[in-house]
């Protein structure tokens, strides 16, 4: 029963994030300071799925926009967000 509830929760998160991801297809060559340094967020609240999507999009811009240190910072944030999603979906792992 708990597993079913987690699956339903994950499906709801994914469904909620789909319209926002589709609307954010225009790539700009500007840094996303909200993701990078938590600046200029203007009360932005993204779901975990939206945050992962935005991080992947920013990392894809590569060194044309970001320094290598900033790309590394974004990759660390992406890994943390993906780990958090795994915990939500599958529970904590016993490593």
Query: Quick one: average pLDDT of 60-85?
Result: 94
> Which residues neighbour 9 within 8 Å (Cβ) at sequence distance 6 or greater?
88
- List the chain domain ranges: 2-90
pLDDT digits 0-9 by tens, 11-57? 555 555 444 444 444 556 788 888 887 766 777 778 899 999 999 99
62: left (phi over 0), alpha (psi -120 to 50) or beta: left
pLDDT at residue 95 tops 90: no
Instruction: State the pTM of this model.
Output: 0.63
pLDDT digits 0-9 by tens, 11-24? 555 555 444 444 44
């Amino acid at each position: 029963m708990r597993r079913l509830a987690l699956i339903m929760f994950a499906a709801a998160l994914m469904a909620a994030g789909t319209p926002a991801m589709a609307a954010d297809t225009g790539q700009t060559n500007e840094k996303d300071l909200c993701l990078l340094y938590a600046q200029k967020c203007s009360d932005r609240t993204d779901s975990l799925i939206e945050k992962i999507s935005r991080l992947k999009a920013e990392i894809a811009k590569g060194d044309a926009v970001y320094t290598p240190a900033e790309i590394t910072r974004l990759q660390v944030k992406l890994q943390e967000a993906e780990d958090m999603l795994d915990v939500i979906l599958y529970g904590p792992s016993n490593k």
